[in-house]
Amino acid sequence: MVKITRVLHIVTTMNRGGLETMLMNYYRYIDHTKVQFDFLVHRDFESDYDKEILSLGGKIYHLPRLNPLSMDYRKQLDKFFKEHQEYEIIHVHQDCLSSIALKYAKKNDIPIRIAHAHNTGQDKNIKYLVKSFYMRSISKYATHLFACGIEAGDWMFRGSDYTVLNNAIDIKKFIYNENIRDEIRNRFNIAKNEIVIGHVGRFNSQKNHEFLINIFNEIHKLVSNSKLMLVGTGNLQNLIKEKVKELGLEDNVLFLGNRSDVNELMQAMDIFVFPSHYEGLPVTLIEAQASGLPIIKSNSISEQCVITPNVYSLSLSDNVQKWSQKILETYKDYQRNDTSSYIKDAGFDIERNAKWLQNLYLGEVKKL
């Protein structure tokens, strides 16, 4: 009987965020007779992907919310690794605080310890001082360093060598399809002549929804037959809903929550706007490009994510008038088509990337 290598991924939750979606893309395409993914999460509720993880043969373990200053948390983490000596590989996705799990995994003789960078920054607050302290020791405890892109790796690993693992996607699911577009727009009562501006992302300060609403407000003054489609949830969602109400845009902004059909929703959009303060290499921008959408993004997002000729960058210091003008100009001049070959040629095809990751896991275990 062939031994199955079980890899423990350490995350916050497995809700529908960027890194979680990336992990599930890889999980679906590895050979489960050779490699299995298990998950150590830091919330006690059921997450969006939990049922699918269990259906694929994965296990889910729970620890309390990560608090780097809590001795109780560290004791529970240490106890977990002592009780789960079956893992030869851990793969940590906790950004700056990854060193804590890596340290206790090393203490308990887990031989292969991977840290994975998914961002190029953090909100600058008191927590950042603590996070930046722990970030410095990641390379000390990790055996392998992965990053979603060069800027993320340079930021988090500070000069240590790392490997870029692309935020790969199932390209064929996103290829532009006119029939799906019509079906989704009919479902949400969107007329054929209405402009739909799209965004996918958590409602947190990083994603800059407040600025996005200001941009849309300006667009709606100029073009009344316009809608904004927002996919995601988060702690700032109610504040954004209040802002939309104050501006009288309730009938024109769609709050769609967390969705499993993002690939289909993107067919209904006309242009994708992404004004984040910082990002690693966002999987949603790869998906949007694969669906043939033109994109207006902030220039604080890495140019590495630019794969098709239809991506334009603006500064967050530019006013909403400049953003709205660029969005409307781009929409007016754009002819949508199949852009899947760009995504494949750039190395973001999930089948090829999942095979590479699987071979890396198995190759490292074989060396032990």
- Domain of 280: which CATH number? 3.40.50.2000
Token look-up 């849309």 returns 216
Are 363 and 229 members of one domain? no
Q: So what's the pLDDT on residue 127?
A: 73
Q: Which tens digits make up the pLDDT trace of 162-199? A: 999 999 999 999 999 999 999 999 999 999 999 999 99
Return per-residue pLDDT of the chain as tens, 368 residues: 678 999 999 999 999 988 999 999 999 999 999 999 999 999 999 999 999 999 999 999 999 999 988 999 999 999 999 999 999 999 999 999 999 999 999 999 999 999 999 988 776 667 777 778 888 999 999 999 999 999 999 999 999 999 999 999 999 999 999 999 999 999 999 999 999 999 999 999 999 999 999 999 999 999 999 999 999 999 999 999 999 999 999 999 999 999 999 999 999 999 999 999 999 889 999 999 999 999 999 999 989 899 999 999 999 999 999 999 999 999 998 989 999 999 999 999 999 999 999 999 999 999 98
**Distance, CA of 195 to CA of 193 (rounded, Å):** 7
Are 16 and 154 members of one domain? yes
SS3 for 36? Answer: strand
Q: Which residues of 143-162 are buried (b: 16+ CB within 10 A; e: fewer)?
A: bbbbbbbebbbebbbeeeeb
Question: N- to C-terminal Cα distance for the chain?
Answer: 19
How many domains in the chain?
Answer: 2
Are 106 and 185 members of one domain? no
From 2, 7, 62, 70, select the one nearest 34 (Cα to Cα): 2
Are 99 and 208 members of one domain? no
From 136, 131, 134, 156, select the one nearest 145 (Cα to Cα): 156
Are 354 and 279 members of one domain? no
Question: pTM higher than 0.85, yes or no?
Answer: yes
